[in-house]
Amino acid sequence: MVVKVHIHTTHRQFTNGSEVVAVEGNTVGECLSHLIKQFPGMEKALFAKKDKLLNNVEVYLNHASAYPNELLKPVQDGDDIHLVVMLTGG
Amino acid sequence: MLTRSERERYDRQIMIGEIGQEGQGKLKRSRVVIAGTGGLGSPIALYLTAAGIGTIRVIDHDQVALSNLNRQILHWEEDVGRKKVDSARAKLRNLNSMVEIQAIAETITKENVSELVGGCDAIVDAMDNLPTRYILNRCAIEKNIPFFHGAVNGFEGRVMTVLPGETACLRCMYRGLVPQEKFPVIGVAPAVIGSIQATEVIKYLVGIGKLLTNRLLIYDGLRVTFSEFRLNKNPNCDHCGSLAGKE
């Protein structure tokens, strides 16, 4: 399965500026593992520990919230994953 | 019933078919709380005051600092050191003396929030931190008052509208505490987001259009893109779902 991961602005420093990265996997979690394999800096940007996303990271699959259990959600060829950072400012 | 002066003042928006005199009357009879008079609160308060909301209650415990002035357009150089709500009230009264402006210089807490928002038809989130947003979100749900969320960082912002009991709330995707940090921001970002929040409030009060419910709108000012994501009401949410009240 080839899936497009859309990288949040604040994370593009870890993807050499890439806004979209092609990854492979059968679940969101596998896709993110493949993303980290290509760009190891993304691990700290996304995960507090193994299989535990940071609290301020939101995952959307095909423009719909993947919460809860985001990492277990199955993906299909051509799907889009958006990684979004929660904002707190006002 | 609108006075002659009000009909003249609001003529251009009364001309909008969806508003008309009836809609303007609804705005006049409405009471809105704006929590925060900073980057988001400034455009929200200005546009809702200009639009002729009957009563606007602004809440902010803070004082104006020089570093606020790049974005908090209700406050000017002469206001540095002044209570933000006093500065806000003065500007808003000068903008539209027909609107009752209530200024409350208090910190919003779990204990006082119910009283602070009491009697209002809408709660607008113009806060700069998540814990207070969650206090407002919970209170909005408990009191069945629509909640209009907005947040910014840098050139980016997000907006969503919560109708208690019907749509996803701010807490529905909660995964745990997020560290509070000083955030970067340029004034045009809260200008965009606050204007959308004010638009949502007006639409809700008049009863027109399609609200940003079960949808999160994300604005990227650097690329000038708007992205929309679907949200789901979480049946196990501790604010609006089965776990509500079981803290």
**Residue A67 belongs to a domain:** yes
- Do A12 and A19 touch, CB atoms closer than 8 A? yes
**Residue A34 belongs to a domain:** yes
Among B38, B175, B229, beta carbon nearest to A90: B38
What is each CA distance from B188 to B37, B39, B128, B196, in whole angstroms?
A: 16, 9, 16, 13
Q: What is the pLDDT of residue B245?
A: 76
Q: Do A55 and B177 touch (CB under 8 A)?
A: yes
What is the model's pTM? 0.97
- Do B43 and B152 touch, CB atoms closer than 8 A? no
**Residue A72 belongs to a domain:** yes
Q: What is the CATH number of the domain that holds A16?
A: 3.10.20.30
- Do B165 and B142 touch, CB atoms closer than 8 A? no
Does ipTM come in above 0.85?
yes
Nearest residue to B88 (alpha-carbon basis) of B74, B98, B102, B100: B74
Domain with A77, as residue range(s), is 2-85
pLDDT (average), residues A60-69: 97
Structural domain count, chain A: 1
Q: pLDDT tens across B17-30, in order? A: 999 999 999 999 99
Domain ranges of chain B: 4-230
What is each CA distance from B187 to B42, B88, B119, in whole angstroms?
A: 10, 17, 31
- Which of A65, A80, A81, A83 is best to mutate for the B interface (most B CBs within 10 A)? A65
- State the amino acid at position A22 in one-letter form: A
Q: pLDDT tens across B226-242, in order? A: 999 999 999 999 999 98
Determine the Cα–Cα distance for residues B183 and B127; give it in Å rounded to an integer. 12
Domain B4-230 classified CATH 3.40.50.720?
Answer: yes
- Do B221 and B155 touch, CB atoms closer than 8 A? yes
In this prediction, residue B247 has a pLDDT band, given cuts at 50, 70 and 90, of low
Among A65, A85, A87, beta carbon nearest to B231: A65
- Of A20-34, A65-79, B231-245, least confident by mean pLDDT is B231-245
Q: pLDDT tens across B69-120, in order? A: 999 999 999 999 999 999 999 999 999 999 999 999 999 999 999 999 999 9
Q: pLDDT tens across B190-219, in order? A: 999 999 999 999 999 999 999 999 999 999
